[in-house]
Amino acid sequence: MRAALWLLSLFALAAAGAWLAGNNQGTVTLFLSPYRVDMSLNLVLLIFVSVVLLVVVAQQALAALFALPKQAQRWRLQQKERAAHAALLDAISHFMAGRFLRARKSAQTALEKEALMQAAGLKLDHAVSLRTLSHIMAAESAHALQDKDLRQHHLAQAVVQAQVGTSQERQTLTEGAQLRAARWLLDDRDADASLDRLKELPPAVGRRMVAMRLKLKAARLAGQPAMALDTAVLLAKHRAFTPAAAESLVRGLIMNWLVHLHDADAVLRMWQGLTPAQRGMPDVAAEVAMRFMRLGGSAAVVRPWLQALWMPLQSPQMGWTPDQVVRVVRAIETSLTDPSTADARPWLARIEAAQQAQPRDPNLQYLAGMVCMRHQLWGKAQLLLAQAVKGLEDPVLLRRSWRALAELAEQRADAVQAAQAWKQAALVSA
């Protein structure tokens, strides 16, 4: 459409010019004593337009001639800039390909070319970023080659160069250098130094996913399960893991934390610091309860913890693994060793009701049998444990069942049954 309008305008101007020139009878007379020169007005206008065009063309030619040195300088700068960029890209490519010596050499080449440009008075707008990234790539290559001295040298140079840039450049490049340094220290198995590097970062940077992942690995390596657990929970909230992976990671961190606790008060404080979702994990609650009692804690304290798991334990749709069920059963059994407590009878009634609701569940048979045995309900305990040994798959529960049957047989003075039960307990493989 635009071309058609230009074409129509051109035809209109041509037609107007032809009409004006064809009907123009004017003349221009120049008096140059003793001569007189008569020219038509059309010729004068044509000469004037030609002179103007000639002046414009001459002016542009002179401007182009005088601009040649600047263009040559710009071309040289462009070529040197391209060479520096090409060297940096080569360093990245070689590093990705595992050619660390070539990557380091290319990064140093980029630094040398940029230094030559600076010495020649040719300054790049992004020279700070180019120098900093080149130093970082050289440090990455030195780290891969286990050259810690050279790595630290280039890291220090990268930090120094980053400080020269604008505020945005300085912030971005410094944060990147600090994160890379934390990663290198983590690769060196120096978790404490890595955590110190991460602590130097601003709070907003510390909440980034890459920083939290580094913090998680460093905390686990440094043996700080509490910090690792908090970081894992934050990563799970940011959907850094799948739900199943996040749950497994949190469970493993809690178990690792539990191993490092050596008194009941510390276990209690840890339990109080867990979230409701973490307390609802069956194996976590069971292990914390057993660890608490093993360290001298009161069973009355842990029974409310386990009571929250009682209803899911009875549900066929609980979704627990067999190992989780066994852990919970063992924890409940361990917490009910004293039949004289105030809540012993309610627990007995609760367990018997659950066993009667699911009479073929060997885990509930075992639990009911052991609790009945402690309440001196010998006949019922004998019957339930005899049924449980036929279906139990966990070797620990099976061995404990046979031992309990042996003790019951000894109480009845049945030496044959007791010996057979002890033999079966000994035959259970771990």
Output the pLDDT for position 93. Answer: 92
Considering the domain architecture, whether residues 205 and 158 belong to the same structural domain is answered as no
Query: Is 153 among the domain residues?
Result: yes
Considering the domain architecture, whether residues 427 and 348 belong to the same structural domain is answered as yes
Provide the b/e sequence for 179-213 (b: ≥16 CB within 10 Å).
bbbbbbbbeeebbebbbebbeebeeebeeeeebbe
Output the pLDDT for position 392. Answer: 83
d(CA 157, CA 139): 10
245 pLDDT higher than 80 = yes
Tokens of 396: 């620990």
Convert the pLDDT of each residue in 113-157 to its tens digit: 888 877 777 777 788 888 888 999 999 999 998 889 999 998 898
3-state secondary structure of 32: strand
Q: Express as a percent the part of the chain with pLDDT over 90.
A: 7
Output the pLDDT for position 21. Answer: 66
Considering the domain architecture, whether residues 267 and 213 belong to the same structural domain is answered as no
Considering the domain architecture, whether residues 358 and 277 belong to the same structural domain is answered as no
Provide the b/e sequence for 64-97 (b: ≥16 CB within 10 Å).
eeeeeeeeeeeeebeebbebbbebbebbeebbee
What average pLDDT does the segment 211-224 reach?
86
291 pLDDT higher than 70 = yes
Closest CA to 110 of 184, 94, 144: 94
Query: Is 252 among the domain residues?
Result: yes
Based on its alpha-carbon atoms, the radius of gyration of the chain, rounded to whole angstroms, reads 43
Considering the domain architecture, whether residues 245 and 275 belong to the same structural domain is answered as no
Type and span of the H or E element at 230: helix 225-237
Closest CA to 117 of 79, 146, 148, 77: 77
φ/ψ of 107, rounded to 5, equals -65, -40
Cis ω before 69 (30° cut-off from 0): no
Weakest-pLDDT range from 49-58, 60-69, 312-321? 312-321
d(CA 84, CA 94): 15
Considering the domain architecture, whether residues 93 and 159 belong to the same structural domain is answered as yes
What average pLDDT does the segment 396-421 reach?
86
Convert the pLDDT of each residue in 306-363 to its tens digit: 888 877 777 766 678 888 888 888 888 888 888 888 777 888 888 888 888 888 888 8
Q: What is the mean pLDDT of the chain?
A: 84
What average pLDDT does the segment 4-18 reach?
78
Query: Is 388 among the domain residues?
Result: yes
Type and span of the H or E element at 249: helix 243-259
Considering the domain architecture, whether residues 254 and 214 belong to the same structural domain is answered as yes
Number of H helices, E strands in the chain: 23, 2
φ/ψ of 123, rounded to 5, equals -110, 130
Considering the domain architecture, whether residues 280 and 238 belong to the same structural domain is answered as no
Query: Is 421 among the domain residues?
Result: yes
Give the type of residue at 89. L
Closest CA to 216 of 195, 200, 231: 231
Scanning the structure block, which residue is given the tokens 């010495």?
Answer: 119
CATH of the domain at 420: 1.25.40.10
Q: Which range marks the domain in which residue 274 is found?
A: 261-308
C-alpha pair distances (Å), 409 with each of 381, 388, 412, 416, 420 = 11, 16, 5, 8, 10
What is the band of 430 on the pLDDT scale with cuts at 50, 70, 90?
low
Beta bridge partners of 31: 36
Residues 238 and 211: beta-carbon distance below 8 Å: no
Number of domains in the chain: 4
Convert the pLDDT of each residue in 347-397 to its tens digit: 888 888 888 888 888 888 888 888 888 888 888 888 888 888 888 888 888
Output the pLDDT for position 114. Answer: 84
Query: Is 42 among the domain residues?
Result: no
Query: Is 82 among the domain residues?
Result: yes
